[in-house]
Amino acid sequence: MTRRPSPDAPATGRCRCGRIVFEVAKPPLITMACHCTGCQRMTASAFSLSAAIPAEGFRVMEGEPAIGGLHGELEHFCCSRCMSWLFTRIPAAQSMINVRSPMLEGADWKEPFVETWTSEKLPWATTPARHSFPGFPPQEAWPRMIAEFQAEFAGGASAKS
Interface residue list for Zn ion (CB under 5 A) = 15, 17, 19, 34, 36, 39, 79, 81-82
Is the Cβ of residue 55 or residue 80 nearer to Zn ion in the bound state? 80
Least CB distance to Zn ion at residue 18 (A): 6
Least CB distance to Zn ion at residue 140 (A): 20
Is the Cβ of residue 39 or residue 154 nearer to Zn ion in the bound state? 39
Q: Which residues fall within 8 angstroms of residue 147, CB to CB, at 6 or more apart?
A: none
Least CB distance to Zn ion at residue 16 (A): 5
Is the Cβ of residue 29 or residue 36 nearer to Zn ion in the bound state? 36
Is the Cβ of residue 24 or residue 36 nearer to Zn ion in the bound state? 36
Least CB distance to Zn ion at residue 30 (A): 15
